[in-house]
Copies of this chain bind each other. A is one copy, B any other.
C-alpha cells in the first residue's frame, strides 16, 4: 500500500511537470498542440519519467536536472503509441479508455502529432541543456535517449513486431522484440537520468541491468494481462494478441512458465540495484509492482 501511494504521488508530480512542458495551444498551428496535448494528458502510469528521475536520485544526483529528460521520454513514449494506434499499424480506436488520437484528430494530424512529439522531446532536452555547466554530460544523456528510441532500439523492435503478426516466431526473435520495443527506452531513460546524476560506470551498468530486467518482465506481464486481464481495469480490450495470432511468451511457453520467467527477471532486477548509494526502496517496490499489477 505504501508503495502504491508513493507511485501515485510520483505520477501526479509527473503530470504536473508534463503540463508545464507541454506546448501552449496558440498560433495558426494550434491544432497540432491540441493533438499532442490530448495524448500527453491521456494518463498512463508515467513509469518512464518516474524511472528517469529515480535513476538520477539513486546515484545521488540532483533530480531537477533530469526533469527535461523525464518529460522528453514520456513524449517519445506517447508519440510511439499515437503512431502504433494508426489504422496502418494496430488500428486501435481505444487507449486508456479514451478514443485514440487519430479517431479524434484524423489520421493526418495523428501522424503529424506523433512526429511533433518526437521532435519536441529533443527540443526540450536540447534547449534545457545549452546553458548547463557540463554540456558534454547533457549531450551524452540526450544521445542515450536518441539511441534507445531509434532503429537500434524502440523503432527496431516495433518494426519486427509489426512484421511478426500472424506468425509463429522464434523465442530469440521474440526476445529481440521485447528488448527493443519495450526495454530499450526504459534502459535509455534510466541511463540518461543516471548520467545527469553523475553515475559512475559501475552504477550505470547496474542501472542498465535493472532497466533491462524490469523492461523484459513488464512486456511479459503485459502479454499475460492481454489473456487474463480485466478490460475495465486495463482500459483497452483484451485478447488482441490471440486474435492477431501474435507470438508472445504465453503463446510460446504457456502462462505459468511465463509468470515464472517474469518473476525471475524481477528478482534479478532487485538484486542489480541493492547496493547503489541512495535508498532504493522505491525501485524495489516498482519491480514488485510490475509483476503484481492488474493493469
- Smallest CB gap from A130: residue in B: B139
Residues of B within 8 A of A127 (CB): 143, 147
Binds B, one of A58-66, A153-161, A200-208: A153-161
A23, A155, A158 — most chain B CB neighbours (10 Å): A155
Q: How far is the CA of A257 from the CA of B280 in the complex (A)?
A: 69
How many copies the complex holds: the figure is 2
Q: How far is the CA of A185 from the CA of B96 in the complex (A)?
A: 36
B160 near A29 with CB under 8 A, answer yes
Residues of B within 8 A of A158 (CB): 112
Number of interface residues of A (CB under 8 A): 54
Contact of A115 among B83, B129, B139 (CB under 8 A): B83
Contact of A146 among B28, B106, B123 (CB under 8 A): B123
Q: How far is the CA of A118 from the CA of B31 in the complex (A)?
A: 21
Does A47 make an interface contact (CB < 8 A)?
A: no
Residues of B within 8 A of A79 (CB): 115
Given the interface pairs A111-B89, A130-B143, the reply to whether A159 lies near B123 with Cβ below 8 Å is no
Q: How far is the CA of A165 from the CA of B147 in the complex (A)?
A: 37
Given the interface pairs A115-B83, A115-B115, the reply to whether A29 lies near B146 with Cβ below 8 Å is no
A151 near B31 with CB under 8 A, answer no
Q: How far is the CA of A257 from the CA of B234 in the complex (A)?
A: 59
Contact of A112 among B36, B106, B107, B155 (CB under 8 A): B155
Residues of B within 8 A of A135 (CB): 135-136, 139
Contact of A108 among B89, B109, B119 (CB under 8 A): B89
Within 8 A of B (CB), among A130-169: 130, 135-136, 138-140, 142-143, 146-147, 149-151, 155-160, 162-163
Does A229 make an interface contact (CB < 8 A)?
A: no
A119 near B150 with CB under 8 A, answer yes
The 3 closest A-B pairs by CB, nearest first: A88-B107, A29-B156, A119-B150
Residues of A within 8 A of B (CB): 23, 27-29, 31-33, 36, 79, 83, 86, 88-89, 106-109, 111-112, 114-116, 118-120, 122-123, 126-127, 129-130, 135-136, 138-140, 142-143, 146-147, 149-151, 155-160, 162-163, 173, 176, 180
Q: List 25 A-B contacts (CB under 8 A).
A: A28-B156, A28-B173, A28-B176, A29-B151, A29-B160, A29-B180, A33-B151, A83-B111, A86-B111, A88-B106, A88-B107, A88-B108, A89-B111, A112-B158, A114-B115, A115-B115, A116-B151, A118-B119, A119-B155, A123-B143, A123-B147, A123-B150, A126-B142, A127-B143, A135-B136
